[in-house]
Amino acid sequence: MMNDQVEESPLQSSVIWPVFGDLMACLFGLFVLFFVWAIAFQVDLTEHLKKERASREAETSRLHALESALAGPLAAGRITLVDGRIGIRGSVLFELNSAEMQPEGQQLIADLALPLKTWVEQHDEVIMVSGFTDDLRVQVPAQGFKDNWDLSAQRALTVTRGLIAAGLPASEVFAAGFGEQQPVVPNNSAENRARNRRVEISPIPRNRNARR
């Protein structure tokens, strides 16, 4: 009987080994490429984490410096400081539906002007004064306010002018009104509405393009 098994010839063996070697070389090349990519990714990730950590540390240092600059009003409970935003209750500054600053508010704004002036001199930032109201419609048309947007803007302007009168350069401060938008708490009670009637003073990065 003839043997059904066909023995591999030396020629066939000599062809297989180069192919096998090429295949292994390709696999090794892919492994090297993957290894290099993994190292590069690790380096990029490490650098990104370093930059992010440095940014967080810089922001923490900035907030601590701002807190130190405002230590007096903060200790007296006349203002709040949350994420770099100085908050002032509307009742401290204004009567209801009014944009005329009360004596207590005038004194507080005057006390804030000097540390804010020092701050902008030492940092590449400007001061943004933002006015906010509750969700109730303006009740005193005789005051001349069309709506909450108008009232909030006029209050922000009043505070801005007060800071300028107390020594903060006019080029370093601007005003914005947000009306009833962006409440800090729901407008579902008299106490919450009082909290939403507020003015916030925020140091923000200077817009370089605006100076060109």
Higher pLDDT: 212 or 51? It is 51
Q: Are 22 and 60 members of one domain?
A: yes
**Residue that is last in its domain, among 48, 69, 90:** 69
How far is 181 from 190, CA to CA, in rounded Å?
Answer: 17
Q: Are 35 and 137 members of one domain?
A: no
How far is 182 from 37, CA to CA, in rounded Å?
Answer: 45
Q: Are 37 and 108 members of one domain?
A: no
Q: Are 82 and 51 members of one domain?
A: no
Residue 5 resides in a domain: no
Q: Are 82 and 61 members of one domain?
A: no
Residue 63 resides in a domain: yes
Residues 6+ apart with CB under 8 A from 124: 205, 206
pLDDT at 6 over 70: no
Q: The domain containing residue 189 runs over which residues?
A: 78-211
Give the DSSP H/E element, type plus range, for residue 108.
Answer: helix 103-122
CA-based nearest residue to 90, from 206, 191, 210, 208: 191
- Please state whether 5 falls in left (phi above 0), alpha (psi between -120 and 50) or beta: beta
Q: Are 57 and 103 members of one domain?
A: no
How far is 185 from 196, CA to CA, in rounded Å?
Answer: 7
What does the pLDDT look like over 143-156, one tens digit per residue? 678 899 999 999 99
Q: Are 19 and 118 members of one domain?
A: no
Averaged pLDDT, 114-139: 91
Residue 211 pLDDT: 46
Residue 125 resides in a domain: yes
Q: Are 168 and 106 members of one domain?
A: yes
Q: Which amino acid is at 187?
A: N
Q: Are 122 and 179 members of one domain?
A: yes
Residue 2 resides in a domain: no
159: CATH: 3.30.1330.60
Q: Cβ-count burial of 107 within 10 angstroms (0-12 exposed, 13-18 middle, 19+ buried)? A: middle
Q: Are 58 and 140 members of one domain?
A: no
Higher pLDDT: 28 or 13? It is 28
pLDDT at 201 over 50: yes
How far is 203 from 174, CA to CA, in rounded Å?
Answer: 11
Q: Are 93 and 196 members of one domain?
A: yes
Domain count, the chain: 2
Q: Are 85 and 57 members of one domain?
A: no
